[in-house]
Structure 1
């Protein structure tokens, strides 16, 4: 069996092989901590073997799909790694989905096995697939299913292009699509983990759900490099800080709304967070002001990662190294090429605005069962090199740092003028009575589209919507003025913090069917 050093120095390897090596080389090192339960690498490796052997005993073959619907847990990770060791494809599905959405994803993925925990089994008991076996994790049924304690799978040879997982998009802009990611793509994430300090002595706190690519971008390198994962089934600011102090956590991947809740936590500054080496952030806009506050109050580096679940070009901003670039998402990482194109697919000149497209070794293979949507997501340069379209609008500055302006689909065209919701959201957030803000475009007979704002109050009393709207109007151009403003208790967000603008737009149109 190859050593971890040998595996990590190769041009390609697998996460399952690295875990096998860690189990042999450092059997007593703790791999996973979940509440009062801990699992060493040796015990983790044995349990993965049993689950992989059970999958093969049930007829799961390389390339088959295994769906998991549950909260973050040790058994969830066991099933995930066992699926990979058996050569099958992991399909992590969001337990926050509606029954209809989950049923559609199951039908699309056509899994051979479906794993639930007790809560999701009760909620989604009616959801099944004709060829799938259902198993409930963290139960006597799961222990029986695992079978013999000395069971071992037949490990297939894994091709770099073989599917590692299928991640379903959040559906914030439409029907969720299955994004097929390869072992080669995940291997790039493992190699990139060295840059941010993942190592055998690292302790990584996981507080975002395991079905999210955001989480896997942290989980995969943390395990690959032999560190310890501390698991949180549900994020809570106080609990996060207590665990970080207790286990001397060195790494955490968080989304912006989590950073905001931590910064707002009354006792934040009393916790000892001095062990932190690196904090990362992705998935949603991360304001310059919030980055600055995290840098000031929280030890260790801070890196913002900009990219898509589909892969393509990734950019990073080492905020601790470039405090004058906090308004940007950084520069492309080594080996990644990022371009800006116009609506006709032509590259734009330096300093001009365009859609962000990216090429890298870490790119999705395709959207499952959607060849047309796959083609729509691709752009090819003059040399035939494949890029992934992000749908984001941005501009590079003279130093090569990218500033994002908005989502292309969120851009509002009102009376022929382009209006970027992020510009209006930034103005709204400056109002002293506003805690959070979102702007969407709605149909207008007069202008084609018109911007509507949604804000949450900063204090116990709701601000006057008319006055806030006028306050904004005094600070923006005439074409940018909000046509309406609503005060809401909270903005709808996905599990990883993205504002669900489609939901806001639909809610508004339901109550305001015409301008």
Structure 2
């Protein structure tokens, strides 16, 4: 389907949605209202706007950057992170958000791919940034004395650039599960609409709401939910790193109405001792949002039992598409391995290889059309064209739709295994394996095989003090999945390789086991 030709005419009273503009609106209503808390520091809306605007002015006058250029931030979670994410784009300078856990060489590669002219960092991350060996023309500004001096009293620009809502706000990077990370161009409009949709869906983004931020701000979801809170006039608290017990204690206090957690966080929570879990069971929380990677059905059952049957929302989303589907709380245990129905404004199409629409229960590639779609990959026109077709975007996920319109993510297209000419989806097998009493976590991959084309390998992390064999896996899976889907080989490792979002890096597993004899 093609869109009609767009008119270039902009209505006379049109006002663009911008990130800092949304915060200014609340500051005008109530400048003293609490906006963000981190440790023993609190910023009101008025203070946040003032400091962000000073950074905007300094970006133009002191740093000499102009609209269309990029900056970068390589830092742990902190209040200054929010100021930079608001102030720099208000000068028309998009912000590349870089994982602070990267090595110096990884930092260098990502920052240079974003063509950043300035780098903001914190004291803990600064040594790695400086060790990257950037060209002296790229200024490195460390939070603390350097940063405070920059925004203390910057000269006022003669004029400010016009910021349109389709201009790039931030450039987070893909998780790199299938190759080198790509810079994702996210507009002000995309992220603010993400926030408005989230407010309607989750009921925890409003002027009387508070959000607990435990995920890294460097990632799309990590920064999107704080912006949603600010855009609605609520407040949020940032933790500089995730700690399971601390997070449960915060939620048990009743001070927060919402939180965003990834599957790895839940796993860390349920690894806590039983007495601690008993203490923090059933905290007073309105909405728990989970995304970034699939929640196994067995984990959903634990979450519902521990937190309650009316709080969990599991999303299907991506950095490129924004939020696409939501499985609402009442369906968590009714719809097995389901990601719900499309969000407002999102259209989902599940297509065959020839582009035609799949029938119900037929597996195909999932495509999305939505106002929250990305602008493209930075300096990656071929990859952008591959992911985009006539206003629709795909990130290579295979899915199916049931007769009631609910969507099920079957697997990554690149993770599908073809063995003996039959399509096998590892995620289906993994859902069975994680219920094995001796398995902590598991991944299934395909390896080349002369006879079958590909053969299945289970890579498992056994629970402490437990032993596993291939025969154990076979016996456990029999009767639960078809015999041709049961992996005949088993490899035990101490920990599955994951990216910072908690997604298993199957490319790394395949590389590691590729040389193993059949």
* TM-score scaled by length of structure 1: 0.91
1:91 and 2:96 aligned:
yes
* Residue in structure 1 matching 2:215, options 194, 201, 208: 208
- C-alpha separation between the residues in 2 aligned to 1:187 and 1:75? 20
Change (3 A) 1:273 1:424: closer
- Superposed CA deviations along residues 348-376 of structure 1, whole A, max 9, x for unmatched, are 22221111111111111111111111111
Q: What is the CA–CA distance in structure 2 between the aligned matches of 1:272 and 1:46, rounded to whole Å?
A: 41
2:485 paired with 1:480: yes
Give the distance between the partners of 2:154 and 2:107, measured in 1 at CA: 33
- Is 1:423–2:428 an aligned residue pair? yes
Partner of 2:243: 236
SS of alignment partner, residue 320 of structure 1: helix
| CA separation of 1:123 and 1:25: change in aligned 2, threshold 3 A | same
Deviation, structure 1 residue 503: 1.4
Is 2:285 the partner of 1:268? Answer: no
2-structure distance, mates of 1:499, 1:134: 33
User: Counterpart of 1:497 in 2: which secondary structure?
Assistant: coil
CA distances 1:317-346 after superposition (whole Å, capped 9, x unpaired): 112356412521001112211111122322
Once the two structures are TM-superposed, the CA of residue 257 in structure 1 deviates from its matched residue by 1.8
Residue number among 441, 449, 460 corresponding to 2:454 in the alignment:
449
2:399 aligns with: 394
2:3 matched to which residue of 1? none
Three-state SS of the structure 1 residue aligned to 2:172 is strand
> What RMSD, in angstroms, separates the aligned Cα atoms of the two structures?
2.3
| Paired residues, number | 498
Map 1:154-233 onto structure 2 (within 5 A): 155-195=160-200, 196-197=202-203, 198-233=205-240
Deviations 1:163-204 (A, max 9, x none): 111111111111111111112211211221321220122111
Structure 2: gaps of 5 or more residues? 1-13
> What is the aligned partner in structure 2 of residue 5 from structure 1?
none
Deviation at 1:153, TM superposition (A): 9.1
**Which structure is richer in relative contact order (CA contacts within 8 A, separation 6 or more)?**
2
* Native 8 Å contact 1:493 1:500 kept in 2: yes
CA distance in 2, matches of 1:372, 1:301: 41
Kindly provide the CA deviation profile for residues 267-290 of structure 1, in whole angstroms up to 9, marking residues without a partner as x.
234238654221111010112232
> How many Å separate the matches in 2 of 1:313 and 1:210?
17
Q: Is the 8 A contact 1:65 1:111 kept in 2?
A: yes
The answer to whether the Cα contact below 8 Å between 1:313 and 1:358 also exists between their aligned partners in 2 is no
Q: 1:291: which partner in 2?
A: 300
Aligned position for 2:339: 329
Of 373, 376, 387, 2:386 maps to 376
Q: What stretches of structure 1 of length at least 5 have no aligned partner?
A: 1-9, 381-385
* Contact 1:315–1:331 (8 Å) recurs in 2: yes
Q: Which of 4, 24, 30 is residue 26 of structure 1 equivalent to?
A: 30
Tell me by how many angstroms 1:13 deviates.
Answer: 1.8
- Tell me, yes or no, if the aligned pair for 1:434 and 1:455 is still in contact at 8 Å: yes
Cα–Cα, structure 1 residues 161 and 371, in superposed 2: closer, same or farther, change >3 Å?
Answer: same
* 2:369 corresponding residue in structure 1: 359
State the match for 2:468 in structure 1: 464
Q: CA deviation at 1:98?
A: 3.2
> Compared with structure 1, are the counterparts of its residues 482 and 289 closer, same or farther at alpha carbon in structure 2 (3 Å cutoff)?
closer
Distance 1:273 1:470, change over 3 A: closer
What is the CA–CA distance in structure 2 between the aligned matches of 1:121 and 1:373, rounded to whole Å?
32
